[in-house]
Amino acid sequence: MATNDLKLLGGWFSPFAVRAQIALSIKGLDYENIVENLNSKSDLFLQSNPVYKKIPVLIHGDKAICESAIIVEYIDEVWKNNGTPSILPSNAYDRASARFWGAYIDDKLYNSLRNGLFAQDIESKKKHFEELAEVLLKLEDVLNKSSGGKDFFGGEKIGFVDIAFGCYLSWLRVKEKFTGEKAFDEAKTPSLVKWAEAFVTDPAVKGILPETDKLVEYALAMAAAIPK
C-alpha cells in the first residue's frame, strides 16, 4: 500500500526501531526509513520527539508518534481495515494481556540482556544473564499457554507479543557470540526455539532484523565507550 506521508526515524541497531518496521511490514505500508545519527541528531528528530529524544519516531503526515509499543498500536489501529492481519487481539482481555507481556519484555528481558552484555565484571554478567534465563523460561510458559499450539504468541499470525519479543532476537544472537551459549536451550525452551525459527522466516520479518556480526561490532564499540 503506497503511503507517501509515512516516515520512520530509527536506527538499524535499535530493537525498538525494528519493532516499528515489523508492524509497518505486517500492514504492507510503504514508508521512508530514515536512519538517525544519535551523536548528531537531526532537527527533524529533535522536533519530533523533544521530550525523550529517543528513536523510533513515526511521522504520519504532520503528526509524530513516539515510543515503539505505542507506534505499533497506532499502526494497527489506523490501518485496521486495509485487509491485513490485526496485530493486537480483538478481545479486550487478550489485548490487556498482550500489553502486559510486552511491558514485561521491555522491563525484564531488555534490562537483563543489556546489563549482561555491558557489565564491567564477570559476577555482574553472570547475575544478569541468570536473570535473562529466568525471563526466557517465563516466556516459554507464556508461549505454551497463549499460542494454542500454533507458531506464535498470537496464534497463527505474528502479534503484539511476538513483535515485542522478536525485535530482540538479533541482540540475543550477540549474547550467543559473547558467551558461546545458545540463547534458547533446546531442553528448557523448546517452544521458543521453534518460535524463533518461525519468526525470523516470516515474510513480514525477513530483511528487517539486523545482521548479527554487524551488531557484534556495534556492541563492541559501545562497550569500549563505557567509562572504566
- Percent helix, strand, coil in the chain, to 5, is 55, 10, 35
pLDDT digits (tens, 9 = 90+) for 25-50: 999 999 999 999 988 999 999 999 99
- Burial of 189-203, coded b for 16+ CB within 10 Å and e otherwise, reads bebbbebbebbeebe
Backbone angles phi, psi at 59, to 5 degrees: -105, 120
Backbone angles phi, psi at 89, to 5 degrees: -65, 155
Residue 3 pLDDT > 70, yes or no?
Answer: no
Q: Which CATH number fits domain 92-225: 2.40.50.140, 1.20.1270.360, 1.20.1050.10, 2.20.25.190?
A: 1.20.1050.10
Q: What is the rounded distance in angstroms from the CA atom of residue 47 to the CA atom of residue 30?
A: 23
pLDDT digits (tens, 9 = 90+) for 75-105: 999 999 899 999 999 999 999 999 999 999 9
Same fold, 6-79 and 92-225: no
- Burial of 97-117, coded b for 16+ CB within 10 Å and e otherwise, reads bbbebbebbbebbbebbbbbb
pLDDT of res. 227? 79
Domain residue limits, the chain: 6-79, 92-225
pLDDT digits (tens, 9 = 90+) for 4-26: 599 999 999 999 999 999 999 99
Q: Which CATH fold topology does 6-79 show?
A: Glutaredoxin (3.40.30)
To which residue does cell 513516539 refer? 66
Give 2's pLDDT tier (boundaries 50, 70, 90): very low
Q: What is the rounded distance in angstroms from the CA atom of residue 16 to the CA atom of residue 13?
A: 9
pLDDT of res. 163? 98
The three three-digit cell numbers of residue 222, written as one number:
559501545
pLDDT digits (tens, 9 = 90+) for 126-164: 999 999 999 999 999 999 999 999 999 989 999 999 999
